[in-house]
Amino acid sequence: MSGYFRTAILLAAMTALFMGVGYLLGGSGGMIIAFVVALGMNAFSYWNADKVVLKMYKAHEVDEATAPEFHAMVRDLARNADLPMPKVYIIDDPQPNAFATGRNPSNAAVAATTGILQTLSYEELAGVMAHELAHVKHHDTLIMTVTATIAGAISMLANFALFFGGNRNSNMGFIGTLALMILAPLAAALVQMAISRSREYEADRMGAEICGQPLWLASALGKIAGGVRRVPNEAAERNPATAHMFIINPLHGERMDNLFSTHPATENRIAKLQEMAAGMGSGMGGGYTQPYGDAGSSGGPWGGASGGDAGGSGRGTGGSVPNAGSRPGAGPWG
């Protein structure tokens, strides 16, 4: 089953659940009222979700003057992906992580933490940014906004049972209403998480195609997962509803690929990327190439790719990093 088809099925299930809960709890009138409220929530999320989340994480925008290498990397990858140039942000947080946001490719933004800039090699960071641009290209940020809003509307409808006791024509009774209050939001959350996991696999695949080197992303995922286990993200812990946005779940205790996780297990994602690299062979070509430095550079996070926790060199199955002189020494973002 393709990722797109699976996502469509899950979205349909979420919508059906929403409609069913609305009817059971409030009849036709209650469902219409809740639906109008949900539409308002969706409209606000559509136009403002990116601004809210960037402000939540205190992200600051950078450009070619303030972060020349990082900005140039995103620009070249966006060109590879046939996307408009997104806005580029840096978050002052020691946990290595990144996310994309925005309602469509023309209004997109990618954000990376200072932790990820300091942890990954140039090649690995290119793999991560390609993954985030894949989310932009797939309109995943809009999909997840819609599913999160519908999930919230379902929870709201279930809470209506406290005040209205469900549809008077229903035979649910107190026990049935109580069960619906508990099970409906849980079911919505499970569907939302399943959609999120599905989109991560798709973004991994397309991100590998954008940068042309699946093992760059595989190596990065291993390093990021290790960093997340060691370094907490305080802003994410305060706002767990945003966890699905990140390339690796930033919350502690989220490591299993099960019904209750927002992300696939990192080892499963790495394995799929390794399979993809093996299938591409050694002469894949057509991928993103690093414009700076040489593989033997030392010092700083741009000192060449390393295998991380994924194995291999982290440089993919072929493709070279051209020598073009030494990199600037002012740090990874300027």
- One-letter amino acid at 99 equals F
Q: What is the 8-class DSSP label of residue 256?
A: -
| DSSP assigned state of 232 | -
CA distance 289 to 305: 13
Task: Report which of 203, 90, 92, 185 is spatially closest to residue 143, judged by C-alpha positions.
Answer: 203
- Does the annotation place 139 within a ligand binding site? no
Beta strands in the chain (DSSP E): 60-62, 87-91, 98-101, 109-113
Ligand-binding annotation for 60, yes or no, is no
Q: How far apart are CA 325 and CA 297, in angstroms?
A: 10
100 beta partners = 110
Q: Is 124 annotated as a binding residue?
A: no
Region class of 281: left (phi > 0), else alpha (psi between -120 and 50), else beta: left
Give the side-chain half-sphere CA count within 13 A for 233. 33
Task: Give the span between the Cα atoms of 4 and 241, in whole angstroms.
Answer: 23
Catalytic annotation present for 123: no
Residue 2 in tokens: 């393709």
* C-beta of residue 69 within 8 angstroms of C-beta of residue 290: no
Task: Select which of 69, 123, 124, 132 is catalytic.
Answer: 132
b vs e for 264-280, b when ≥16 Cβ sit within 10 Å of the residue's Cβ? bebeebbebbbebbeeb
Query: Residue positions in the annotated binding site for Zn(2+)?
Result: 131, 135, 200
Q: Point out the residues that are catalytic.
A: 132
